[in-house]
Chain A
Amino acid sequence: MIRDITIGQYYPAESPIHRLDPRVKIVCTLLFLISLFIQNSLLGYVIATLFLGCVIHFSKVPVKYIAKGLKPIVILLLFTVVMNLLLTRGGETLVHFGIITITENGLRTSVFMAIRLIYLVAGSSIMTFTTTPNGLTDGLEKLLHPLNRLNVPVHEVAMIMSIALRFIPILLEETDKIMKAQMARGADFESGNIIQRAKAMIPILVPLFISAFRRANDLAMAMEARCYHGGEGRTKMKPLRYKGRDKMAYIFTLIYIVVIFMVGRFVPFKLWVF
């Protein structure tokens, strides 16, 4: 069950999106995330959906796979939707039943909030699915390179991130193993109240942390053995160079952003068809 978490994992495929420069993907993902928040109209969401749909289609990542990545946020999603539904006031009252009041505004906000959240996760997972963690960190490193002058250890941070991403699946698998081992010894993770359940997690976390530290130690040694000594004097196997298609992608995203911005600005909020 725990292996279902797919956020942050690379999905190997040959696609135009996979081939894009990681910097393009990082910047465009950011722009897309921003675009979700600068407008709030039906038309805007239609455009965002088209954009995201296009990207997903070209990326060759199966929609099912992306949907799987949404699983961990289901609870957050439900919570947001319910809260917005019940607490937002304004507009026509649609349902009134005891203490529950659902208004038109509430419905709209909760639906849009849900869409935003889903697109947020889907958009960023498209980035991680189509970019190897090494690519991502290379991209980040290069984008953030100017911060080096402010004594921010950009290379180190990038390296830490890429290693964290590499070890997510391994640690998840390990958690699964430890859980099964503890369950075989009669541990019970399912029953009891929240505090009891949290206490039941301790026998999982302690061995997990111990093994994570051991792994970190081993890995540090393996890296040193392979002459790793920070970013200085290091060359790149896959150096980042913008190509024609990267410029195209930037232009495409820019057009999208401008359109969305215009829609947010000039199309009346009330384009809400029921």
Chain B
Amino acid sequence: MEMIHSEKLVYEYDKRDEEGNVIGTNRAIDGVDIDVAPGSFVAVLGHNGSGKSTLAKHMNAILVPTGGTIWVDGKDTKDPAELWNVRQTAGMVFQNPDNQIIGTVVEEDVGFGPENLGVPTDEIWKRVEDSLRSVGMLEYRKASPNKLSGGQKQRVAIAGVIAMEPKCIVLDEPTAMLDPNGRREVIQAVEKLREEKNVTVILITHYMEEVIDADQVFVMDDGHIVMHGTPREIFSRVDELKVYRMDVPQVTMLAEELRKRGLDLPRGILRREELVEALCRLR
């Protein structure tokens, strides 16, 4: 069974005037079909306002589709009886690290999710320790979140989701507000989780470098999924990406420019080593 499966998903935000009366609708997602296999790593790219966050919120039943259906681990998110199941199955990490930490001590924040699930006390402690260790934040368990760096806060937020033992975790631009160091920390933590716990990861991001290890990439534009494939496939379509106002990784860009100047390089080079190797082979 697919971890996440949607059919003709549509979501419309109400447009309101000054007094709050509904004056129309704004279609943020328009007929999205998406399939995510269990245990895979899926990246979603797209320009600002393309509907990525709206899509992410559907995977956690924060938003319920106005049209079509989305199933999370086989559960229809429209079904109120499955609401808490869906939210436990698909954990969510948001962009702003300050606005998603509820506890005033790191370990209490990580325990918040399991507390809500009604997990017994001993088990909560075990889960908190385990998830803090897996994101490398165990030594900060007694610290105040306000004293942590952005990257550390995001790792705590990830631990908070992991402690609920989800099958799938959705990260909505978790690195957007971080410096390069914080970004690396967070991405490494996510990679480690994938290896250790085999959770499905759905990463929404603006940074192309974070996408190259993904199994699948979806590119969104104006509420539609406009491109879909492996990173190599996606990034070999440089011109098409430009139409959707997307960048490609620097190395890919360089290889593409060189190719245009007549060098015989393959398409879709993603890593520096690949480029070096391909260049060496030319001689």
Kindly identify which residue among B99, B113, B121, B143 contacts A236, using a CB–CB cutoff of 8 Å. B121
Q: Which residues of chain B are near A105, meaning CB under 8 Å?
A: none
Q: Which residues of chain A are near B102, meaning CB under 8 Å?
A: 163, 166, 219, 222-223, 226
The docked-state distance in angstroms from the alpha carbon of A214 to that of B101 is 15
* Interface mask (A151-164 → B, CB under 8 Å = 1, otherwise 0): 00000000000110
Kindly identify which residue among A133, A214, A235 contacts B119, using a CB–CB cutoff of 8 Å. A235
Q: Which residues of chain B are near A233, meaning CB under 8 Å?
A: 118
Whether the pair B60, A225 counts as a contact (CB closer than 8 A) is: yes
CB distance from B209 to the nearest CB of A (A): 26
The docked-state distance in angstroms from the alpha carbon of A233 to that of B104 is 22
Q: Does B270 contact A (CB under 8 A)?
A: no
Whether the pair B84, A227 counts as a contact (CB closer than 8 A) is: yes
Q: Which residues of chain B are near A229, meaning CB under 8 Å?
A: 84, 116
Kindly identify which residue among A165, A219, A234 contacts B115, using a CB–CB cutoff of 8 Å. A234
CB distance from A238 to the nearest CB of B (A): 7
Name, among B99, B101, B118, B120, the residue most crowded by chain A CB atoms within 10 Å (CB to CB). B99
Q: Which residues of chain A are near B100, meaning CB under 8 Å?
A: 218-219, 222
CB distance from A133 to the nearest CB of B (A): 5
Q: Does A16 contact B (CB under 8 A)?
A: no
- Interface hits, B146-169 → A, CB 8 Å: 146, 160-161, 164
- Interface hits, A66-91 → B, CB 8 Å: none
* Contact flag A235-B124 (CB < 8 Å), given A170-B146, A219-B100, A223-B102: yes
Name, among B98, B119, B128, B142, the residue most crowded by chain A CB atoms within 10 Å (CB to CB). B98
- Interface hits, A213-269 → B, CB 8 Å: 214-215, 218-219, 221-229, 233-239
Which chain A residue shows the least CB distance to B142? A12
- Interface hits, B74-90 → A, CB 8 Å: 84, 87-88
- Interface hits, A148-186 → B, CB 8 Å: 162-163, 165-166, 169-170
The docked-state distance in angstroms from the alpha carbon of A214 to that of B144 is 22
Whether the pair B98, A237 counts as a contact (CB closer than 8 A) is: no
Whether the pair A169, B60 counts as a contact (CB closer than 8 A) is: no
Whether the pair B118, A226 counts as a contact (CB closer than 8 A) is: no
Q: Which residues of chain A are near B24, meaning CB under 8 Å?
A: none
CB distance from A214 to the nearest CB of B (A): 8
Whether the pair B88, A227 counts as a contact (CB closer than 8 A) is: yes
* Contact flag A10-B105 (CB < 8 Å), given A221-B62, A235-B121: yes
Q: Which residues of chain B are near A218, meaning CB under 8 Å?
A: 94, 96, 99-100
CB distance from A15 to the nearest CB of B (A): 13
Whether the pair B103, A166 counts as a contact (CB closer than 8 A) is: yes
Kindly identify which residue among B60, B98, B143 contacts A170, using a CB–CB cutoff of 8 Å. B98
**Count of chain A to chain B residue pairs whose CB atoms are closer than 8 Å in the complex:** 99
In this complex, the interface size class of chain B, counting residues with CB under 8 Å from chain A, is 35 or more
Whether the pair A12, B84 counts as a contact (CB closer than 8 A) is: no
Whether the pair B114, A225 counts as a contact (CB closer than 8 A) is: no
- Interface hits, B180-204 → A, CB 8 Å: none
CB distance from A134 to the nearest CB of B (A): 5
* Contact flag A222-B94 (CB < 8 Å), given A12-B144, A237-B121: yes
Whether the pair B164, A227 counts as a contact (CB closer than 8 A) is: yes
Q: Does A110 contact B (CB under 8 A)?
A: no
Which chain B residue shows the least CB distance to A221? B62
Kindly identify which residue among A169, A219, A228 contacts B146, using a CB–CB cutoff of 8 Å. A169
- Interface hits, B93-147 → A, CB 8 Å: 94, 96, 98-105, 107-108, 111-121, 124-125, 128, 142-144, 146
A-B contact sample (20 more), CB < 8 A, given A226-B116, A237-B115: A10-B105, A12-B105, A12-B144, A132-B105, A134-B105, A166-B101, A214-B99, A219-B102, A222-B100, A222-B102, A223-B102, A223-B112, A226-B160, A226-B164, A227-B117, A229-B116, A235-B121, A237-B107, A237-B124, A239-B121
Interface residues of B (CB under 8 A from A): 57, 60, 62, 84, 87-88, 91-92, 94, 96, 98-105, 107-108, 111-121, 124-125, 128, 142-144, 146, 160-161, 164
Interface residues of A (CB under 8 A from B): 10, 12, 132-134, 162-163, 165-166, 169-170, 214-215, 218-219, 221-229, 233-239
